Amino acid sequence: MAKTILTGIKPTGQIHLGNYIGAIKPALELADSGEYRAAYFVADYHGLTKIHDGAEFNELSYGIAATWLALGLNPDKVIFYRQSDIPEIFELNWILSCFASKGLMNRAHAYKAAVEANKIAGKDADFGVNMGLFNYPVLMAADILMFKAEVVPVGKDQIQHIEIARDIAESFNHHYGETFLLPEYTVQKDTAVLPGLDGRKMSKSYNNTIPLFEEPGKLQKLINKIKTDSRPPEAPKDPQSSVLFMLYKEFASELEVENMRAEYQKGIGWGEVKKELFHAMNRFMEEPREKYKELMSSPETVDKILQEGAEKARAVSAPFLKEIKRKIGFSV
């Protein structure tokens, strides 16, 4: 049987290029390869650890769904759903929390980072930390283990969460016999950490991102902001170490990339590269941008697709949860 591949995106900010190149694009390619049974979802309840404004939460959640669909996710081929539509995940979340050691959660990086930041600011270690944030890795384990995912494409910063999911699965299996599959992660190597406008990792937390469906004028401006060095146009440049080249590779044809590589070696001005990059990116985004707008103005279309996906997902999660509960000792 085909392996199950699963991944989710949480609605905590506008989707940016880093999300697309690091997560969405490779996930869509894997789904298209036909080698996997793919389950992709909107991790909306994960977003609630941060977003406490109703309108914003709603907008961001639909935004994630519309992004996947605009970029070509085919709901006939991928089980595509909203986490909050699958109640079994939340029941499993509780079950798994009884097999997750608190010490392990203390070491989870998002929580640790929050504690560190508090220490530096001279605040109480747990200031501003809600239990949702602390339990975040357990809910993520439930997302993954519920569907017996074997492969989980994630960004580098999520590797620890997959390891935690494996740990929790092993603990449960140890008590009740083989139940959960141990998931593996895949990280796209060279794009795992895409630099943002300022050269640091592109991340919503650094405010250095290029939003995916930016209008052409804005997109051009942002591309112009990408940090480069002060070498003159005629100086030969190394494509390998250039952010602009890295981005160009994602959107240009093979031939265009080869030509650009030659230009770098000959010597090309950064302004020229930026122009070409804008051209390639805008060309690629034209259609998805329109589709995205269409979907965002038609939430009922998105709802229908997600509900059909939820039905397919629950056909898997409901019987599996029953099996899990029987092992625990329920008479279900």
For this structure, is 218 an active site residue?
A: no
Q: Which of 10, 148, 166, 289 binds ligand TRP (CB under 6 A)?
A: 10
Catalytic residue (one of 50, 204, 227, 291): 204
- Which tokens is 125 given? 């270690």
Torsion angle, alpha carbons of 29, 34, 36, 39, to 10: 60
- Which tokens is 235 given? 């100086």
Distance CA 36, CA 49 (A): 31
7 binds ligand TRP (CB under 6 A): yes
Orientation angle between helical segments 243-251 and 254-266, nearest 10 degrees = 160
Q: Which of 30, 66, 133, 140 binds ligand TRP (CB under 6 A)?
A: 140
Which SS3 state, helix, strand or coil, does residue 6 take? strand
For this structure, is 237 an active site residue?
A: no
143 binds ligand TRP (CB under 6 A): yes
Site residues for ligand TRP, 201-230, by CB under 6 A, read none
Distance CA 170, CA 168 (A): 5
Q: Which of 24, 28, 86, 154 binds ligand TRP (CB under 6 A)?
A: 154
152 binds ligand TRP (CB under 6 A): yes
Distance CA 173, CA 183 (A): 13
Handedness of CA 118, 124, 130, 135 (dihedral sign): positive
43 binds ligand TRP (CB under 6 A): yes
For this structure, is 227 an active site residue?
A: no
Q: Which of 5, 8, 147, 219 binds ligand TRP (CB under 6 A)?
A: 8
Residue 232 has phi, psi (to 5 degrees) of: -70, 160
Site residues for ligand TRP, 246-305, by CB under 6 A, read none
Catalytic residue (one of 201, 237, 249, 274): 201
Q: Which residues here bind ligand TRP, judged by CB under 6 A?
A: 6-10, 43, 46, 140, 143-144, 152, 154-155, 158, 161
